Amino acid sequence: MFVDKAQAQENLVPNSSFEEMLSCPGGIADFSVSDWYAPTWGTCDYFNSCNGLDANVPNNYFGHQTAQQGNAYVGFGAIFDSSSNLSSREYVQVELTEELSASKFYHFSCFINKSDSSSICVSEIGIAFSSYPIGGLYLDPIPFAPQITSPVSTYMCDSNGWIQIEGIYLPSGGEKYLTIGYFKNNQDADTLNSHYSSQGAFAYYYIDNVVLRELDDLNSPNVFSPNGDGINDFWCFPINNLPIQILNRWGEVVVDCENGIWDGKTREGKECSDGVYFYVVRDKNFDFNGFIQLIR
């Protein structure tokens, strides 16, 4: 979970949980949700509890799933097996409420769920930020490298609960469009067959609760005194649950902090001596570093 001050910022994704619609969807491929659209020939789907038939929530053409938030969500085909070449893709795209600034960090989060009828799972579902709409009049993968993805080699196979995809993004500046889908080409696609489906071979995912918020800053307190007096005994990175390594001045790893909190001890539990240490945050979607002054 990320820091509260990030949550206090405005969500830059309009209609983030897909509750607002142009009209109640009449069925599959009726993408009548407000603000969002399909940037390619792929026919994405809009599901809302107002439908009552194959575009309903929670029961619809692709399976059963309650909304992660509200009464609606959208769906896209990450991969459709067309003549056994896994060629077709679908994407959803939206224009953000404001351009992103090169001088600021942003936290992205969304929830996905694999539909019951999907016979294929994929890894590295992508989130792309661009200064212009990407896509075109085709069904092939969009030739764009997403800046945030779900974990590499972790297949998104959960058909019961919602899985959160999140990451930190430092823009180049001017990005105004957000696109979600599977950007891997056929040669690089990382897939797993989960079960047989009478509807064919495909990977289909629901999406809900899409959030992009500016982070106030990523400056951590760089001095702490782990002396057991109950005051400033721990150093904390302002974003929780990121893998962080603490290094000494010779570049040797002192300890790995999985929860972003350091108590001033080594891997073996020994107290570190006074001095300057360095922290490195390296995640699939994030890279950051800085220094820490330890005073006992």
Segment 117-164, tens digit of pLDDT: 999 999 999 999 999 999 999 999 999 999 999 988 889 999 999 999
Percent of the chain with pLDDT over 90: 67
Domain closes at, from 193, 215, 237: 215
Of residues 86 and 30, more confidently modeled:
30
Number of other CB atoms surrounding residue 228 within 10 Å: 10
Q: Given pLDDT bands bounded at 50, 70 and 90, which one contains residue 211?
A: very high
Query: What sign results for the dihedral spanned by CA atoms 77, 122, 84, 185?
Result: positive
- In this structure, the answer to whether residues 199 and 166 fall within a common structural domain is yes
Segment 184-205, tens digit of pLDDT: 988 888 888 876 566 678 899 9
Beta carbons of 45 and 55 less than 8 angstroms apart = yes
Write out the residue range of the structural domain in which residue 74 sits: 4-215
- In this structure, the answer to whether residues 156 and 80 fall within a common structural domain is yes
pLDDT of 235 over the 60 cut: yes
- In this structure, the answer to whether residues 71 and 177 fall within a common structural domain is yes
CATH code at position 168? 2.60.120.260
- In this structure, the answer to whether residues 271 and 128 fall within a common structural domain is no
Q: Given pLDDT bands bounded at 50, 70 and 90, which one contains residue 241?
A: low
- In this structure, the answer to whether residues 132 and 95 fall within a common structural domain is yes
pLDDT of 1 over the 50 cut: no
pLDDT of 4 over the 70 cut: no
Q: pTM of the full predicted structure?
A: 0.79
Residue 194: per-residue pLDDT: 76
Residue 246: per-residue pLDDT: 95
- In this structure, the answer to whether residues 133 and 16 fall within a common structural domain is yes
Q: Is the backbone peptide bond immediately before 58 cis, with ω within 30 degrees of 0?
A: yes
Quote the number of domains for the chain: 2
Segment 93-120, tens digit of pLDDT: 999 999 999 978 898 999 999 999 999 9
How big is the chain by its Cα radius of gyration, in Å? 22
